[in-house]
Amino acid sequence: MTIIAIISACGGSKGVPRKNVRPLAGKPLIAHSIENAQELTLIDQVYVSTDDQEIATVSTRYGAKIIDRSAELANDTASSESALIHGLEALEKEHINPDLLVFLQCTSPIRTSADIEQAIAKLKAQQADSLFSVSPWLVEVK
């Protein structure tokens, strides 16, 4: 089974400018997701889909391959799904057709490689075609 990871990272964040390359715990935010995926031997390759040269440079330094994304697929109205579809189409042109796609958001740096591994195992065990994980928020009501 061929498994790839795609991390979507746009350069034009409005909330926290340059967030994907800003340091968090001693390394760029995006590096955490790249390293999580690389720690798993069952993931064959890690790709970063981006419109931004600095993100591409940092991602390559951490071992990811780059999928160049157009600005129109990286604006405020573009969906994650459109970035993934574009990424899969780009890989297909390179004759890369994964059996399983792991989509990692770089804004979730606290996940571990064990979390990813457990998600893949659950997906396989359930013979599901997709799995979406979330984390509960603690809200204090006064």
User: 39-81 pLDDT, tens per residue?
Assistant: 999 999 999 999 999 999 999 999 999 999 988 888 777 888 9
CA distance to 30, 35, 79, 97, 105, per residue, from 3 (Å): 20, 16, 22, 9, 17
Confidence of residue 141 (pLDDT cuts 50, 70, 90): low
Task: Give the DSSP per-residue string, 84-128.
Answer: HHHHHHHHHHTT---SEEEEEETT-TT--HHHHHHHHHHHHHHT-
> What domains sit in the chain, N to C, each tagged with a CATH number?
3-126 (3.90.550.10)
In this predicted structure, the answer to whether residue 138 has a pLDDT above a threshold of 80 is no
Closest listed residue to residue 102, CA positions, set 120, 87, 114, 88? 120
Which has more confidence, 137 or 110?
A: 110
CA distance to 17, 58, 73, 88, 138, per residue, from 46 (Å): 24, 13, 20, 13, 32
Query: Which residues contact residue 122 at a Cβ distance below 8 angstroms, ignoring those fewer than 6 apart?
Result: 128, 131
